[in-house]
A and B are shown apart, each in its own frame.
Chain A
Amino acid sequence: MMIPLSYYLILSAVLFTVGVIGVLVRRNAIVIFMSIELMLNAVNLSFVAISKHLDSLDGQIFVFFVMTVAAAEVAVGLAIIINLFRNKETINVDEINIMKW
């Protein structure tokens, strides 16, 4: 039995939504980062599923580049979070608002 493409796309959409809820609801900067990783993985799943559906490998190459960007983003983002914690002793995003005004 072949799993239909739409099953993978629905799974990916639900995974993306879980990531969006994490970004919007949680206040811990590290958990927000992890939710962003969840969203990136949801998109990767769509890429691979559609790449198989269309008999093309371009989707898988895009996943490769998405992983590169995710690695770069995590390295820089976590360095920023460490710096924030050093200066403000918190990573609660409600208390980090000095750039807001």
Chain B
Amino acid sequence: MTVTGFFFFSIAAVVLISAILVVVLRNPVHSALSLVLTFFSLAGLYILLNAQFIAAIQVIVYAGAIMVLFLFVIMLLNLDKEKRVGEKHPLQKAFGIAVAVFLLVAMGSIVAAGVLYGNKGIHTEARVSAIGNTKAIASLLFTDWVLPFEIASILLLAAIVGAIVLSKKEL
């Protein structure tokens, strides 16, 4: 097995195991910590895919900012371990897993059928590495995608206002 293959399979194993732990662990703090591990190893996969900028903001935004927010809220709420109270619908778990497995089979059959195709773009690996990944993304972001970029800033402003309004006791 080559070095790339070794890295891919070991990182993929870490991603899957820590993702399953997020769902399985009963204590929300432990779930959040294994979610941080998932995000870090996904950043490793992005580096394997030559997406260095995305890997960096994955670590900074996801593993840094968003997960700190999660841990803060868990700390504020001071939750105990989830109590194993009787479920309202006894078949809930079985149905949930069945639906998810059906979804997995559907997605897997699309991948196996190989019906995904598209036109090749102009940003080949040599071209991007000549000007640098971040610079290439930035030049696209501020030319072709400048309107969505500005709308994203308005969305963030709306989220800030919404979060403050929701968590204030009275206005």
Binding site for B on A (CB under 8 A): 1-3, 5-11, 13-22, 24-28, 30-31, 33-35, 37-38, 41, 44-45, 48-52, 54-58, 60-61, 63-65, 67-76, 78-83, 85, 91-92, 94
Given the known interface contacts A30-B28, A41-B39, A65-B152, the answer about A78 and B15 at a Cβ–Cβ threshold of 8 Å is no
Indicate whether B90 reaches chain A with its CB closer than 8 angstroms: no
Q: Is the CB of A78 within 8 A of B69?
A: yes
**A1, B4: Cβ atoms under 8 Å?**
yes
Q: Is the Cβ of B148 less than 8 Å from the Cβ of A82?
A: no
* Nearest chain A residue, comparing its CB with the CB of B98: A24
Q: Compute the total of residue contacts between A and B using a CB distance below 8 Å.
A: 222
Minimum CB–CB distance for B36 against chain A, Å:
10
The answer to whether A35 touches B22 (Cβ under 8 A) is yes
**Contact A71 B156, beta carbon cutoff 8 Å:** yes
Chain A interface SS verdict (over half): helix
Residue numbers in B under 8 Å from A7 (CB-CB) = 8, 12
A16-B107, A48-B49 as given contacts; A71 in contact with B65, CB under 8 Å: yes
Distance between Cα atoms of A25 and B100 in the complex (Å) = 10
Can you list the 6 inter-chain pairs with the closest CB atoms, starting with the nearest? A56-B121, A24-B96, A72-B159, A79-B166, A1-B2, A13-B107
Contact between B53 and A82, CB atoms less than 8 A apart: no
Q: Is the CB of A75 within 8 A of B162?
A: yes
- Assembled-state Cα–Cα distance A52/B136 (Å): 14
